[in-house]
Amino acid sequence: MALTGIQIYKLLPKTNCKDCGYPTCLAFAMKLAAKQEELSACPHVSEAARAELAESSAPPVRLITLKANGNEFKSGNETVLFRHEKTFVNKPGVFVRFSDDLSPAEIQANLAPAEAFQVNYVGISLALDGYAVASVTGNPEAFAGAVAAIRNLSHKPLILIARDPQVMAAGLRVVDGETPLIYAADQDNWQSMAELARQHQAPLAVRADSLEDLAGLTEKLVAAGVEDLVLDPGGRDLATSLSRCTQIRRLALKNFRPLGYPIIALPAEASTPEIEPLMAAQSVAKYGGFIVLSSFTPELLYPLLVLRQNIYTDPQKPIQVQPGLYEINDPGPESPVLVTTNFSITYFSVANEVEGSGIPAWLVVADAEGMSVLTAWAAGKFDAERIAKDVRSFGVAEKVTHKRIVLPGHVAVLSGELEEELPGWEIRVGPREAVDLPSFLKQAL
């Protein structure tokens, strides 16, 4: 956690020499705490103070990067416990696991659909972040073969899972020059794993079944020169996993360096197949940095990636679209005029349904400050006055020969006022949910 102005002040020379351009050292310290100044502006600060300040400005959760063939995945740099405090930053990576007891042909057959998976959510393309390759045979050649089979078909980053350093070495040789995640160092093998991590300059996951053991291991690994670490605190049930992940995030935010790393969650090892998706969702909400699933299932991946997108949305910046008059399916002067708000999810839900219906329409996207219909209405940002103002300023009347406008069903209550605000216009009430728009457009208009 960043130091306060007073804490920084104690590290400064306290001479009030003004060489930094500020009248006192305290004033300069306050600027530093607010990140409006650089320490280099002080020519007299001691080396020890410099080191301490640099240490305190390091992110509480270290940024870890995986690389493969130009593809990168980043995890870490988080600064809060709750998304409403600021925002979560780097979305947890979703990786699908393959075992090395599959033949290369089987791996490739299973990999193809996973590799092709790409789904559109409110204009954002969602896909897998990479794959995990797990040694179950204990055979170095089998492991290397599985890694090679995946690498032949995919350029995504990898997590290599093996306990035996010999097996791990064989896998790493296949992807020499890349930066995969090595999983995992434990109490028994950490020295050899550290050696491999150094050789390949790759981050190393650390596994222990208590936070004490985990912190002890990371200290030893840092001392051995491996600084890019990822934590597996064990606990394959939902309660233990939630508690330990919460404890790790809290400690990291208190600047407890031995646990200041991203967490790898393994829903693939959940207690039952039914719990796996729920553990994956829990890991998205509660502090996972890497999430390893046991198989490729599009019907799970889609909601899981959407949940990740939602939880990692910056609460200060609602995702919104530009207010304006949108043309859907090439509308003409006779086409209906629909109204909605400029909250991105609202806009895309409505636009997708109208587009899918094949019916041409004009869509008035009112400036509701990025809020959904009900929320904006409750907040007074989507009222008759606002809608009428946008209808006029977007020049809707010049585009159509009729004077009929369709309101979202949730704000049916606005129709009277809107009639007053837009004299001569007929106000119709549409469905509450976008999904019911096509039948409404076909039947009611």
Partner 1 sequence: MPVEIPKDNWPGAVRTITLGATAAEGGSRRQVVTVGGAKSLPFLHFEAIHPYRPVIALEIRDRRPDDWSPLLIKTWQEVVDDPASWAQAGEKLGVDLIQLTLSLTKADGSSNTPANAVNVVKAVLAATGLPLLVFGPGQAEVDNELLVAVAEATKGERLVLGICEDKNYRTIVAAALANGHLVSARTPMDVNLAKQLNILIKDMGMPLDRILMDPTTGALGYGIEYGYSVMERLRLAALQGDTMTQFPMIVTPGFEAWKTKEAKVGEGVPAEWGDWEARAIHWESLTTIALLESGADIVVLRHPESIRRIQAAIQELMTQAEPA
| Number of residues near partner 1 (by CB under 8 A) | 66
Residue pair 255/1 in contact by the 8 Å Cβ criterion: yes
Six-digit token pair at 285?
A: 């909400």
* Block residue for tokens 């646990």: 259
Residue pair 324/347 in contact by the 8 Å Cβ criterion: no
Residue pair 342/386 in contact by the 8 Å Cβ criterion: no
Q: Which is nearer to partner 1, 58 or 278 (CB)?
A: 278
316: contact with partner 1 by CB under 8 A: no
Full strand arrangement of the beta sheet holding 426-429: 324-328, 361-366, 337-341, 404-407, 426-429
Six-digit token pair at 313?
A: 């949305």
Tell me how long the chain is. Answer: 445
Crossing angle of the two packed helices 437-444 and 344-357, in degrees rounded to 10: 50
Stretch 67-86: interaction string toward partner 1, x if CB under 8 A: ---------------xxx--
Of the listed pieces 17-25, 70-78, 371-379, 415-423, which binds partner 1 according to CB under 8 A? 371-379
437: contact with partner 1 by CB under 8 A: no
155: contact with partner 1 by CB under 8 A: no
- At position 394, the amino acid (one-letter code) is F
Of the listed pieces 15-23, 170-178, 245-253, 416-424, which binds partner 1 according to CB under 8 A? 245-253
- At position 18, the amino acid (one-letter code) is K
Q: DSSP character for 179?
A: B
Q: Report the nearest approach of partner 1 to the CB of residue 281 (Å).
A: 5
Of the listed pieces 213-221, 331-339, 384-392, 422-430, which binds partner 1 according to CB under 8 A? 213-221
Stretch 319-358: interaction string toward partner 1, x if CB under 8 A: ------------------------x-x---x--xx--x--
Find the helix or strand (DSSP H, E) in which 445 lies: none
Residue pair 399/362 in contact by the 8 Å Cβ criterion: yes
Pick from 76, 165, 180, 277: which binds partner 1 (CB under 8 A)? 277
Interaction site with partner 1 (CB under 8 A): 82-84, 117-121, 211-212, 215-216, 219, 235, 237-240, 242-243, 246-247, 250-251, 254, 256, 258-259, 271-272, 274-275, 277-278, 281-282, 285-286, 297-304, 306-307, 310-311, 313, 315, 343, 345, 349, 352-353, 356, 372, 374-375, 378-379, 433-435
